[in-house]
Every structure is written in structure tokens, then in C-alpha cells.
Amino acid sequence: MSTCSLEHPNGQEADSVPAKRLYKGECAQDGSVGGGNASRAVEVSIVMPVHNASCWLDDCLQGILNQDYTGSMELSVYDDASTDGSRAIVEGWRERLERRGVSMVISGHDSAQPRGVGHAKNQAVSQSSGTYLCFQDADDVMMPQRIHLQYEACLFNSTSLIGCQVRRDPEGSTERYTRWINNISQDQLSTQVYTSHGPTVVMPTWFCSRDWFQRVGTFDEGGKGVPEDLLWFYQSVGQGGGVVRVDQCLLVYRYHQQAATHSVLEETIWNLRVAFLQERVINQWESFTIWNAGKQGRKLYRCLSSFNQKKVRAFCDVDEKKIKKGFYTYEESKERPKPQIPVLHYREASPPYIICVKLDMTGGVFEENLKSLHLEEGVDYYHFN
């Protein structure tokens, strides 16, 4: 693994430097060498935004070099104001990648401040030319089979977002999250899109057709603190896009404190999830039960529109103290009398449910309780844990 102590030449670039592209030409019958898109259409563009990633780039680029995909590939890099020589490191790999048949296009800027992950991704997509887009974070490492297996999956799922299983580095970090990423079923990739975990296939594993990306639209460019991946994911699902996971570990997914995801506030994610849940599920229901009369369930109730609050027939729980009290009073309400929502034992409640109980946290007790009701996920209940 590369470390921050590696020394690389610091290439100084002007602000908004235009993209530099070099294609490996193909020999024609007369011995001449062609170049550019006319000589060879690019099948897969690897889209890679970069910001101060010098610690990880060698491993990342070696992973791209090791791909066993035999079609045409392009690496499209946009450097978002790196100050650690990241761009020079990428340039230093050009000859090796070109020799492997991976064409490169690199651009960026050296303004005082980065313009954000959404902007960098959009620029990398815009300057690329592949029929398919493989999104790659500069701090992660793709396994040799990644592109060819996701490419094959995308051929049969042209309006879907294709992900894969991952291996966390360091091992054991975000253990519950990683288990969820890798183990939810193919059906749950669509039904569990409202949970606090975010997209059911994680952004660093995304692969899709350019046509689908253009239909959904570009990433939000609000900058730091904006969950551009979740916003785009919801846009894709909202437009009828599928979610598919290749059930092989095709990416080493690094966890570290410099990751952009740490800049996004939990409340921002919460508000987006509530809005999407209401739009896609609750607005279609006449009434429902919130499973969890505790903090998370009550917070969800308070965040619903007043119209949807009136659809909540009850809370349900296993806590005898909450059940014995019999109701939850919405103290913040301006209505008089203040709304009082019944609190029932889960066996006395009726579906459909919005479940606000965290999975994988009760030693299997909650999961067994849910299973005992013989309900269908995506019809009788949705998780919002």
C-alpha cells in the first residue's frame, strides 16, 4: 500500500487547465496510425474525481491497470484543486496505462478552494467519451474483474445502476454497514432505499450506461456538505431506474476521516430520506403504523407533512412502559386538542408499517418478531431505520 511519505513531482497547473487526451492509435492496413475517437470507440470510461489523493493513487491506478476487461477503456480524471501533487502522480501513470490500452483524459483547476465532489464528477463525465461509465474513487482499489463483470451486468440492465460487494479497509471498520452493503437481497436493493445507510449500492461501486446517466441528469454541485450521491440515486430510482448488485467483491472500499462523506450532516440525510419516503410510499397509503414508539419513530412522525401525520393510525413497540401509557401526545402541534396517537404492542397493530428499528442490533430478536408476522417487504412494510 502506498503511504503519504511517497514523494512525487509537484506539477503546477494553471486554473481551469483544459483536458489533455492521448489515444493509443490502431494500425490501419496501409500501416498508418489512427487516433482519437474515430479510430476506436471507447466502451467504458472510468470516471475519477481527485482531490489530495496522493496517499492512495498508486494503489488505485494499479487496480485499473490490472483489469482483465478486454474491451476499450478510458480513464477520465478531474483534479479538484489538489495541493499534494496528485495530478503529477496520475500523469506519471500515463505511459503504463496507454501501453495497456487505457486512453487518458485529465483536466482540473488549481483555484484556492475545491469546487466539490459533484462538480468534479460532472466534469470527469463530461470530458469522457465511453458508452458506459464506471465510477471510481481515488482512494479505493478495484479488483481485476470489476469492469468486465459490471459491464456484462449492465448489458442486461441498461436502465439500472450496477454495484458490487466490497471489502472494507481497514478490515472491521463500519462492520454493520459493510454487512448490509454485501448481504441485502436483490429485492431489498429497491425496498431499503430509505434507510440511514444511504444508496443500497454504494457510490464507489457504481457502473451505468452513459444514456441512463444523461437521462437522470448531472450530480448536484452544491459542494461540501451536499450528499450528491444520494440525490442522484434518488433521482435514478424516481425515474424508474433499477438497482443491481454483482455478488462478488470487486472493490476495496477504504474508510478514513478525510472521506467526503464525513462532511455531510446527518440531518441533511434525514430530511432527504423523509421527503423521498413520503413521495414514493406514504403519499400512496391511506393509513399506516410506525413501528417504534421511541425517539426515532416519534421524530419521523413529527417530520411528516400534516396530511401524512393524520394517516398514522398507531405506533407499535415491545416496550411495556410505552404500551402501558397507551398513547403519544404530539406536544408541538398547534391543534387543539393536541393529537394523541395510540401505542400498541406490535402483535396488536396492523400493516402497513414504516419500521424505525435498527437492523442487526438486537441479537436477532427484532428480526424474529418481524418474521413471525409473515409480511412482505415492499408491500406490508418498509425499513426507515
According to the model, what pLDDT value does residue 293 have? 97
Amino acid at 136: Q
How many H helices and E strands in the chain?
A: 14, 15
Amino acid at 57: L
According to the model, what pLDDT value does residue 19 have? 56
According to the model, what pLDDT value does residue 13 have? 39
Residues constituting the chain = 385
User: pLDDT exceeding 90 applies to what percent of the chain?
Assistant: 83
Amino acid at 199: P
Query: pLDDT, tens digit, for every residue of 93-117?
Result: 999 999 999 999 999 999 999 999 9
Q: Is 270 exposed, middle or buried (0-12, 13-18, 19+ CB in 10 A)?
A: middle
Cα-Cα-Cα-Cα dihedral sign, residues 98, 44, 211, 124: negative
3 state DSSP class of 207: strand
Give per-10-residue mean pLDDT for the chain (385 aa).
35 46 37 39 97 97 98 98 97 97 97 95 98 98 98 98 96 91 97 95 97 98 92 98 98 80 82 97 98 97 97 97 95 92 97 94 92 98 95
According to the model, what pLDDT value does residue 264 have? 84
Report whether 309 contacts 301 (CB < 8 A): yes
Alpha helices in the chain (DSSP H): 57-65, 86-92, 94-100, 117-126, 146-155, 175-183, 188-191, 210-216, 228-238, 266-280, 295-303, 306-309, 320-325, 365-371
